[in-house]
Amino acid sequence: MNEAWVERWNDRYSTNEFAYGEEPNIYLKEQLVKLKEGAILFPAEGEGRNAVFAAKLGWTVSAFDISIEGKNKALHLAENHQVAINYQVGELETLNYKTEQFDAIALIYAHFPASIKSSYHKILDRYLRKNGLIIFEAFSKKHLDYLAKNEKVGGPKEMDILFSIAEIKEDFENYEIIELVEKEIELNEGLFHNGQGSVIRFVGRKK
């Protein structure tokens, strides 16, 4: 990942306000409350809103991001809520996660550069136990139409960084599909996710 990508996210997370708010993503919240607590990983976790929510539910939480500013705010948020999260900064292939370490992996707006997004999904798959769950929400390729009408909804402007149902099926081919849909939703998350957008939602169980 190039330095400009890292600086972009450090800049976004360097303000006092939380870029995407302090409340958890609605879809993640809906899914987590159904599950028995275990070990969960949050890739590209930013300022920690989802990781802190999971920790409050009793999950053992790990998270990573390329942004040290994101980590600092996440740890501050965790302290405010009196929970602990294990948060690392760095690119996935340099981190020390173990094979089958996690019961769930939550990919919430984890828009990696196009050149690595599928390979990152394959690496993450190795860290998930058999019968473990992927919980995924991110912008679909149709989202560019929504972004053109309303920049406040946020999201990447590059088609290759966005997702399709076909890509999810390919990247997570060894999964039982519990839910996989493309849909229009109304976002109200902090400063940068506001308005109607198009997302892919996926919950899959590793076979």
pLDDT tens readout for residues 61-116: 999 999 999 999 999 999 999 999 999 999 999 999 999 999 999 999 999 999 99
Confidence label for 4 from pLDDT (cuts 50, 70 and 90): confident
The number of residues in the chain equals: 207
Confidence label for 58 from pLDDT (cuts 50, 70 and 90): very high
**40/68 Cα distance (integer angstroms):** 21
Amino acid letter for position 3? E
Task: Give, rounded to a whole angstrom, the gap between the first and last alpha carbons of the chain.
Answer: 31
Cβ neighbours of 205 (radius 10 Å): 15
Q: Which domains does the chain have, with CATH numbers?
A: 3-206 (3.40.50.150)
**84/62 Cα distance (integer angstroms):** 9
Question: Can you give the pLDDT at residue 5?
Answer: 86
In this prediction the pTM is: 0.97
Angstrom distances, CA of residue 174 to CA of 7, 22, 40, 128, 153: 35, 33, 19, 12, 32
Confidence label for 165 from pLDDT (cuts 50, 70 and 90): very high
- Which residues lie closer than 8 Å to 147 by C-beta, 6 or more apart? 153, 154, 155, 157, 197
Question: Tokens 């990696």 label which residue?
Answer: 112
pLDDT mean over 103-131? 97
Indicate the angle between helix axes 68-80 and 3-12, nearest 10 degrees: 30
